[in-house]
Amino acid sequence: MGLFGLFQSEEDKRAEEIRKGTVAPTRAERQKCWASRDLFYACLDKHNIIDPIKDEKAATKKCSSENAAFERDCAAQWVTYFKKWRVQDIQKKARLKELEAQGAYKMDVQTEFAPKKD
C-alpha cells in the first residue's frame, strides 16, 4: 500500500475490491454498473462504434467519460465480458435480420426437462 492508500475512503476501497473481483458487488452496486454500461453503450451507438475493444482509439476518443465511469463502476472482468457481449449481440441481431430477409421464419422452441403433467 502506497502513501495514497492511507487516505482512501472506505467507499474507494470497496470500489477497488469490486474492480479487482475480490468481493461480490451488492444489488445496488450491480445496478450502478449496469447503468454505467448502458450509458457507455448509448455513447458507442451514437458514434457508430460496434467493438470498443477492436476500435479502442475511437471509443476512447468519443466516449472517454462514459468508459471511465463504466470501468470505475464495474468489476474489470465484467467490463471485458460486457464489451465482448455487445459485439456478439449486434452480430446475432444482424444475422437474424439477414435470415429474415432471406425468408426464414422464427420458431419458438421450448425445452422442458420435467415430464408433462396431465
- Which three cell numbers mark 18? 469490486
Per-residue pLDDT reduced to its tens digit, 50-63: 999 999 999 999 99
For the chain, what is the mean pLDDT?
A: 89
Residue 95: what residue type?
A: R
Q: How far apart are CA 57 and CA 70, in angstroms?
A: 16
What does the pLDDT read at residue 1? 46
Q: Which residue has better confidence, 89 or 14?
A: 89
> What is the rounded average pLDDT of the residues 98-117?
82
Q: Is pLDDT at 42 greater than 90 in this prediction?
A: yes
- DSSP character for 21? T
Which of 31-40, 83-92, 109-118 comes out lowest in average pLDDT?
A: 109-118
47-57 burial: b if 16+ Cβ within 10 Å, else e: eebebbeebee
Please tell me the distance from the alpha carbon of residue 37 to that of residue 23, in angstroms, as a whole number. 20
**Percentage of residues in the chain with pLDDT exceeding 90?**
65
Q: What is residue 5's predicted lDDT score, i.e. its pLDDT?
A: 54
State residue 88's pLDDT score: 97
**Do 34 and 1 meet the contact criterion of CB atoms below 8 Å apart?**
no
